[in-house]
């Protein structure tokens, strides 16, 4: 694949003794949004974390931008251009919004900080108002915006988003998905999205992957997966009903 | 009144020194969650490095005391920083990720190793240094009691306070300080953002050790007497100061150091000098009973 951004080949990974990933292979091309859906505990978060180096893949290979990063130190993976907005947001609670964002630019010392701030405040104007406030005092939605904003500060090549909709009000979820879409369409940002909110995630994505028990069981375009009977049964019951009712 | 003032001066001097050592304890605790019990020994090594440098510079340094002081300060800080760095590399880094108790035992082991290392290489006898800076201001006189603020005390307080201020500036205003705080709050996240966590931890040890070296140099100059065992009590006192102020909090360490210094000075001045340590540690017990997170510390919350 000529413009392959991220390539995983035969990845196994463990949490303690529990095997969390089983022979996972996937490809993400530049400019794509790829959504990974699956039930709680299927290994979605582990997959994103394994790309970042914690836990390490015990077998298989991870290539990013043509470079083998399977055993690269975590901070160097980040510096290579992978930014992660992780599960649970992991905002630094005792740092201000501004300081949290500044931490995001560590991975890319050459990036223009002023420009990055402007871009992020344009995407999430709310963060600008909260600039001097401590991260721990923000609402869940604001924290999620901050986590994504922080990841964007380094102007990454690949953005990993772990459950950005978790625990947020529908209106905020819509805002955040809108922002992701804008990033992809206007800046060509490559996004690897993990979601339990399968309906939204598949609608947004160019391609979707379904994970069950640490293995990828289905792949296809977002549309195809949305129409797939298995996916509908397992992950979309509520959402499809809603669509049918409407 | 005069007597009170004198004890206040002595207490502040002592407190500044304790505060400087306490910062090292609190920073290391903040970032890797362990008590570096060898930190007192790092302070002792700082004192020895300062003493040795003074003795080497001695004959030529006479006319240029300020320059000699500065040179010794820089030598003590940089050499001791190497010890701090090596300590982390050898005794703590290999144990990262293992139970806290393992690192704690390693710390106590390193404390014994360093003590014995200095005892073997420098001898067990007390080392003395001729007073380098003498004299002071006579502030007040009452009968035959004179309140003296010595030049040495002024130097100690000025050097410590400006170092603490500079250090505080680094922690709150610079990228290095942000990295340090980020590692303290969430190490994995810091790594995900491109922070070299190992390097940040090393820098923490280097900073803590060089501050302890300054304290060691000040003690050498102030008392003129050191031996391989000075690190033990000073270390425990500074640790007490860190806990009193709230372990993990840098302003807490400074405040705690000052309080322990004052308590000790006033207790020795008004009650009995033999029991000054009892006073200091009783305060620790009381604080732990009534305010376990210390004066400025955050209550321990389980991370979700």
Q: What is the pLDDT of residues A147-182, one digit of tens each?
A: 999 999 999 999 999 999 988 889 989 989 999 999
Q: Judging by beta carbons within 10 Å of its beta carbon (0-12, 13-18, 19+), is residue A98 exposed, middle or buried?
A: middle
- Write out the two tokens for B53: 């440098």
Nearest Cα residue to B149 out of B130, B165, B133, B132: B133
Considering the domain boundaries, does residue B300 fall inside one? no
- CA A197, CA A36: separation in Å to the nearest integer? 10
DSSP state of B295: S
- CA B22, CA B277: separation in Å to the nearest integer? 16
Higher pLDDT among residues A190 and B279, named by residue: A190
Are A24 and A215 in contact, with CB atoms under 8 Å apart?
A: yes
Chain B neighbors of A53, CB-CB under 8 A: 191
Residue of B nearest to A76 (CA): B194
Considering the domain boundaries, does residue B298 fall inside one? no
Q: Which of A75, A83, A90 sits opposite B195 (nearest CB)?
A: A75
Are A215 and A20 in contact, with CB atoms under 8 Å apart?
A: no
B175 vs A93: CB contact, 8 Å cut-off? no
Considering the domain boundaries, does residue B174 fall inside one? yes
Considering the domain boundaries, does residue B197 fall inside one? yes
CA torsion through residues A185, A191, A197, A203, sign: positive
Chain B neighbors of A94, CB-CB under 8 A: 181, 185
Considering the domain boundaries, does residue B304 fall inside one? no
A94 vs B181: CB contact, 8 Å cut-off? yes
Mean pLDDT, chain A, rounded, equals 91
Task: Provide the pLDDT for residue B62.
Answer: 57
Chain A neighbors of B192, CB-CB under 8 A: 52, 74, 78, 84, 86, 90
B193 vs A95: CB contact, 8 Å cut-off? no
B178 vs A99: CB contact, 8 Å cut-off? yes
A94 reaches B (C-beta below 8 A): yes
Half-sphere exposure of B55 (CA within 13 A, CB side): 11
Q: Which of B188, B194, B197 sits opposite A79 (nearest CB)?
A: B194
Chain A neighbors of B179, CB-CB under 8 A: 103, 106
Rounded to a whole number of angstroms, the CA Rg of chain A reads: 17
Half-sphere exposure of B171 (CA within 13 A, CB side): 20
Q: Which of B185, B193, B304 sits opposite A107 (nearest CB)?
A: B193
Residue ranges and CATH numbers for the domains of chain A are 31-42+85-245 (3.40.50.300)
Task: Provide the pLDDT for residue B61.
Answer: 54
Q: Which of A52, A76, A93 sits opposite B185 (nearest CB)?
A: A93
Considering the domain boundaries, does residue B80 fall inside one? yes
Cβ partners under 8 Å of residue B268, min gap 6:
B7, B276
A103 vs B192: CB contact, 8 Å cut-off? no
Nearest Cα residue to B171 out of B144, B211, B132, B137: B211
Q: What is the pTM of this model?
A: 0.90
Q: Which domain holds residue B84?
A: 2-290
Residue of B nearest to A54 (CA): B188
Residues in chain B: 304
A95 vs B197: CB contact, 8 Å cut-off? no
Task: Provide the pLDDT for residue B288.
Answer: 85
How many domains does chain B contain in total?
A: 1
**DSSP run (H or E) holding B148:** strand B145-150
Alpha-carbon distance B104 to nearest alpha carbon in chain A (angstroms): 24
Q: For residue A171, how many other CB atoms are within 10 A of its CB?
A: 9
- The residues of B whose Cβ lies within 8 A of any Cβ of A are 175, 178-179, 181-182, 185-186, 188-197, 304
Nearest Cα residue to A227 out of A238, A240, A217: A240
Strand partners, A61: A9
- CA B265, CA B267: separation in Å to the nearest integer? 6
Chain A neighbors of B304, CB-CB under 8 A: 88
What are the distances in angstroms from CA B225 to CA A70, A89, B10, B153, B216?
A: 56, 54, 17, 16, 11
Please, which residues 39-58 of chain A have a Cβ atom closer than 8 Å to chain B? 52-54
Task: Provide the pLDDT for residue A192.
Answer: 97
Chain A neighbors of B185, CB-CB under 8 A: 92-95
Q: What is the pLDDT of residues B157-191, one digit of tens each?
A: 999 999 999 999 999 999 999 999 999 999 999 99
Q: What is the pLDDT of residues B6-60, one digit of tens each?
A: 999 999 999 999 999 999 999 999 999 899 999 999 999 999 999 999 988 876 5
Average pLDDT of span A210-226:
92
Does the pLDDT at position A78 exceed 90?
A: yes
Average pLDDT of span A139-143:
93
Average pLDDT of span A43-69:
95
A107 reaches B (C-beta below 8 A): yes
Chain B neighbors of A78, CB-CB under 8 A: 191-194
Give the number of A-B residue pairs with CB atoms closer than 8 Å.
62
Residue of A nearest to B186 (CA): A92
Task: Provide the pLDDT for residue A246.
Answer: 47
Chain B neighbors of A110, CB-CB under 8 A: none
Considering the domain boundaries, does residue B210 fall inside one? yes
Strand partners, B127: B226
Residue of B nearest to A104 (CA): B193
Task: Provide the pLDDT for residue B173.
Answer: 94
Chain A neighbors of B188, CB-CB under 8 A: 54, 90
CATH number of the domain to which B45 belongs: 1.10.3470
Q: Which of A52, A54, A90 sits opposite B186 (nearest CB)?
A: A90
A67 reaches B (C-beta below 8 A): no
- CA B150, CA A132: separation in Å to the nearest integer? 44
pLDDT band at A119 (very low <50, low <70, confident <90, very high): very high
Task: Provide the pLDDT for residue A1.
Answer: 44
B178 vs A79: CB contact, 8 Å cut-off? no
Most A CBs within 10 A among B192, B199, B252, hence the mutation to make, goes to B192
Does the pLDDT at position A106 exceed 80?
A: yes
* Spacing of C-alpha B4 from chain mean position: 26
Residue-wise DSSP of chain B: -HHHHHHHHHHHHHHHHHHHHHHHHHHHHHHHS---TTHHHHHHHHHHHHHHHHHHHHHHHGGGHHHHHHHHHHHHHHHHHHHHHHHIIIIIGGGTTS-HHHHHHHHHHHHHHHHHHHHHHH-SSPEE---SS--EEEEEEETTEEEEEEHHHHHHHHHHHHHHHHHHHHHHHSHHHHHHHHHHH-HHHHHHTT--HHHHHHHHHHHHHHHHHHHHHHHHHHH-EE-TTHHHHHHHHHHHHHHHH-TT-HHHHHHHHHHHHHHHHHHHHHS-GGGHHHHHHHHHHHHHHH-TT-SSPPPP----
Residues of chain B with pLDDT under 70: 59-63, 300-304
């Amino acid at each position: 694949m000529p413009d392959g951004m991220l390539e995983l080949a035969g990845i196994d990974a463990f949490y303690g003794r529990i095997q969390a990933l089983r022979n996972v292979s996937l490809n993400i091309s530049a400019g794509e949004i790829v959504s990974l859906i699956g039930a709680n505990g299927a290994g979605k978060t582990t997959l994103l974390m394994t790309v970042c180096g914690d836990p390490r893949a015990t077998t298989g290979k991870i290539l990013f931008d043509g470079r083998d990063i399977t055993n690269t130190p975590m901070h160097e993976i980040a510096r290579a251009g992978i930014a992660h907005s992780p599960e649970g947001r992991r905002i630094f609670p005792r740092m201000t919004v501004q300081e949290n964002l500044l931490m995001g630019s560590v991975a890319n010392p050459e990036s223009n900080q002023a420009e990055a701030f402007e871009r992020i405040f344009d995407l999430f104007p709310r963060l600008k108002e909260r600039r001097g406030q401590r991260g721990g005092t923000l609402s869940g939605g604001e924290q999620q915006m901050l986590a994504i904003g922080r990841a964007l500060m380094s102007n990454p090549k690949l953005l990993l988003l772990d459950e950005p909709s978790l625990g947020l009000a529908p209106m905020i979820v819509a805002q955040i998905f809108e922002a992701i879409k804008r990033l992809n369409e206007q800046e060509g940002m490559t996004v690897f999205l993990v979601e339990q909110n399968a309906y939204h995630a598949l609608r947004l994505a160019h391609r979707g992957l379904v994970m069950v028990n640490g293995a990828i069981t289905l792949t296809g375009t977002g549309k195809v997966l949305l129409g797939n009977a298995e996916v509908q049964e397992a992950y979309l019951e509520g959402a499809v009903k809603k669509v049918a009712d409407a | 009144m005069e007597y009170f003032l004198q004890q206040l001066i002595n207490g502040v001097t002592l407190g500044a020194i304790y505060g400087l050592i306490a910062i090292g304890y609190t920073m290391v605790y903040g970032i890797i969650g362990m008590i570096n019990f060898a930190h007192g020994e790092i302070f002792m090594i700082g004192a020895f490095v300062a003493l040795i440098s003074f003795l080497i510079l001695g004959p030529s340094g006479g006319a240029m005391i300020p320059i000699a002081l500065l040179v010794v300060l820089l030598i003590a800080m940089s050499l001791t920083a190497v010890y701090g760095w090596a300590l982390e590399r050898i005794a703590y880094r290999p144990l990262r990720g293992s139970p806290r108790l393992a690192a704690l035992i390693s710390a106590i082991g390193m404390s014994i190793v360093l003590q014995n290392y200095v005892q073997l290489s420098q001898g067990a006898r007390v080392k003395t240094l001729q007073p380098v800076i003498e004299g002071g201001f006579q502030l007040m006189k009452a009968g035959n009691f004179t309140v003296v603020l010595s030049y040495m005390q002024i130097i100690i307080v000025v050097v410590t306070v400006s170092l603490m201020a500079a250090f505080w500036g680094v922690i709150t205003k610079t990228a290095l300080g942000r990295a340090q705080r980020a590692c303290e709050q969430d190490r994995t996240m810091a790594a995900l953002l491109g922070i070299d966590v190992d390097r940040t931890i090393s820098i923490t040890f280097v900073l803590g050790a060089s501050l302890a070296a300054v304290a060691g140099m000040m003690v050498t100059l102030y008392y003129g007497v050191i031996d391989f065992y000075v690190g033990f009590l000073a270390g425990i006192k500074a640790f007490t100061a860190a806990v009193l102020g709230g372990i993990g909090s840098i302003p807490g360490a400074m405040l705690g150091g000052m309080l322990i210094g004052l308590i000790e000075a006033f207790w020795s001045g008004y009650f009995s000098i033999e029991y000054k340590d009892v006073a200091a540690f009783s305060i620790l017990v009381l604080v732990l009973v009534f305010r376990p997170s210390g004066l400025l510390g955050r209550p321990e919350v389980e991370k979700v």
